[in-house]
Amino acid sequence: MSRTSRTTRVLNTVLAPVIKGHQDPDASWARTVAQVEKEAGTADPRFAAELAVIVRAAAEMPRLSPLGWYLITADVKARYVNRLRIDRMLAEHPQIADEEITAPVIVCGLPRTATTLAHRVLSASPDHRAPLLWEMQNTGLDDPRSARKLIKQLQQGAAMMEKFAPDIPHIHPINIDKPEESMFILPHGSHWPILHGLMPSYTAWAAGRDVTGDYEYLKRALQVLQHGRPAKRWVLKYPAHLEDMDVIRKVFPDATFVWTHRDPVTVIGSFCSLVETFWGMYQHDTDRREIGRFALDHLFTQVERGLELRRSLPPASIVDVPYHKLSADPFTEVPRLYAAIGATWTTRDQENLADVVAKPKGTPSHQYDLSHYLDPAEVEQTFAPYNRLLDRLDMRDAEATVEL
């Protein structure tokens, strides 16, 4: 079974004779690094060497398509370009490192649990700020004319991605000039296999790695974006922040976590559908049962780590948010959420909320069936400890029908 679009199939046929870098990934990446460093006039050998792990792992994917190789290596290259840009700005303007990132809000939780909605409503406050997608991909670009040109180019690229995977707008719309997940700055993490396919060598390498440096890099990026602008409270979002809460508190000692919750049976089905959609851009075929096993193992590990970490964190640093309450009654729940994180809820926020939570007209609901990927009973059994937490929070009795 595959969700690969006709556009993707045609492109793979066209690209197959010319896309050969996966046959020698080290040589291919070395050429890319040399080009990037020549254009930037600087280098970061350690960062480049760690990115090479992604490139090698991608080349090992058994069903990797020519388009998949092209898209993955283009992403890795762009991340190296952005890293050198940030390094150069800090070297030229060392005062950037003095910018204080105060009391950031970190939205996390299993994927498909309304993390996007929570991020959206929190970042809408005039007192808050979330990094926009284009800012994370091109950190430090200040010229308004250049920014407009870049945003237009990136929007065209996003439109092309939707041709490769037509279901994306229904599941997770790509908005270049709106807040997005921290994974677009963080160089490493589970987003690589989630988006592209199984990458065993990369997953094994990342499992034993200290991610402190990644979050210090995220902080530097926020300092660059904040420099020369009014300081606001940063609101970040990424489901996998759940398993890094201890490191985040080390880098951002006054961070508050907003943990969104939803019934795992619903979460897993939605997540599997998302993974299948993304994998279809990078692989010749996808296997729904393989996706199911990956999703179950990945999300179980993530939530178990989150449950372990929350026992060692100050209770006031975690705000639990039920999916069904936030999605069903945002005009009651959002002011409560603001109060819980110590933010001020204003008349202006109240007036803007309807626009913030509205879905575009004509947007179809996200349809999926867990049984295509996994046995629902196995999911219930696997997530029994987490389900007990949900029962204590009284969240499972009013599951909303709207997919966010």
pLDDT along the chain (404 residues), means of 10: 71 80 93 97 97 97 93 96 96 96 97 91 94 93 78 84 75 83 96 96 94 98 94 96 97 97 90 92 92 96 94 94 90 95 93 83 71 94 89 56 35
pTM of the model: 0.91
For residue 184, give the nearest of 195, 168, 171 by alpha carbon: 195
Which tokens hold the place of 217? Answer: 């890099």
**Residue-level pLDDT at 399:** 43
For residue 166, how many other CB atoms are within 10 A of its CB? 15
What is the Cα–Cα distance from 40 to 172, expressed in whole angstroms? 33
What is the Cα–Cα distance from 127 to 91, expressed in whole angstroms? 29
For residue 74, give the nearest of 117, 36, 129, 120 by alpha carbon: 36
**pLDDT tens-digit map of 22-57:** 899 999 999 999 999 999 999 999 999 999 999 999
User: To which H or E segment does residue 237 belong?
Assistant: strand 233-237
**pLDDT tens-digit map of 213-240:** 999 999 999 999 999 999 999 999 999 9
Which tokens hold the place of 242? Answer: 């759940």
**Residue-level pLDDT at 82:** 97
For residue 259, give the nearest of 270, 272, 245 by alpha carbon: 245
**Residue-level pLDDT at 403:** 36
CA dihedral sign, ordered 253, 259, 265, 271: negative
For residue 199, give the nearest of 6, 4, 25, 3 by alpha carbon: 25
